Structure 1
Amino acid sequence: MKPYQQIAIAECGESMVQIPLEIFAVESPHLYQLLGATYAELSPYYLRKSVLDSLIKAQEYLQSKNPGWRIQIFDAYRPVSVQQFMVDYTFAQVVEAQKLNIANLSAVKREDIWQQVYQIWALPSLDPLTPPPHSTGAAIDITLVDGTGKVVNMGSPIDEMSARSHPDYFANSSLPEQQQYHNDRQLLREVMTYAGFARHPGEWWHFCQGDQMWAWLSLNPVVARYGRVEETDYPS
Structure 2
Amino acid sequence: MKQEEQVLEKVSLSDPAVAAIPVRERDEPLVDLRTVAALRLDGRFADDEGRYAQLRIGVVDRLVTAQTLLPQGFRLLVVEGYRPLTLPRSFEPAASGFGSPHVAGAAVDVTLCTVDEVELDLGAVNAVTTESGYTAEARHNRDVLAEALSGAGLVNCPGAWWHWSYGDRYWAYLTGSPQAWYGPASP
Alignment TM-score, normalising by the size of structure 1: 0.65
Quickly say closer, same or farther: Cα 1:163–1:67, change in 2 above 3 A.
Answer: closer
Give the alignment of 1:189-208 within 5 angstroms: 189-208=146-165
The alpha-carbon deviation at position 148 of structure 1 amounts to: 4.7
Q: CA deviation at 1:71?
A: 0.3
> Which AA in structure 1 matches 2:32?
Q
Q: CA deviation at 1:221?
A: 4.4
Indicate if the aligned counterparts of 1:122 and 1:133 stay in contact, CA closer than 8 A.
no
Could you say which residue in structure 1 is the equivalent of 2:55? 47
Q: 1:163 to 1:22 in 2, by over 3 A?
A: same
Structure 2 residues not aligned, in runs of 5+: 1-12
Offset, 1:181:
1.8
Aligned residues between the structures:
172
Gaps of 5+ in 1: 34-38, 88-119
2:106–2:168 contact (8 Å) kept in structure 1: yes
Q: Is residue 2:29 matched to residue 1:24?
A: no
Q: State the match for 1:178 in structure 2.
A: 135
What percent identity do the matched residue pairs reach? 26
Q: Which has the larger radius of gyration?
A: 1
Query: SS of the counterpart of 2:87?
Result: helix
Who is 1:58 aligned against?
66
**Aligned CA-pair RMSD:** 2.4
Which is richer in helix? 1
Map 1:77-92 → 2, pairs under 5 A: 77-83=82-88, 86-87=89-90
Cα distance, 1:56 vs structure 2: 0.5
Is 1:8–1:129's contact at 8 Å kept on the other side of the alignment? no
Q: Is the strand fraction higher in 1 or 2?
A: 2
* Pairing partner for 1:163 from 119, 129, 135: 129
Deviation string, structure 1 residues 91-120 (Cα, Å, up to 9, x no partner) = xxxxxxxxxxxxxxxxxxxxxxxxxxxxx4
List per-residue Cα deviations over 1:9-53 (Å, max 9, x = no partner).
Answer: 11121111111354322212x3364xxxxx5x4521111111111
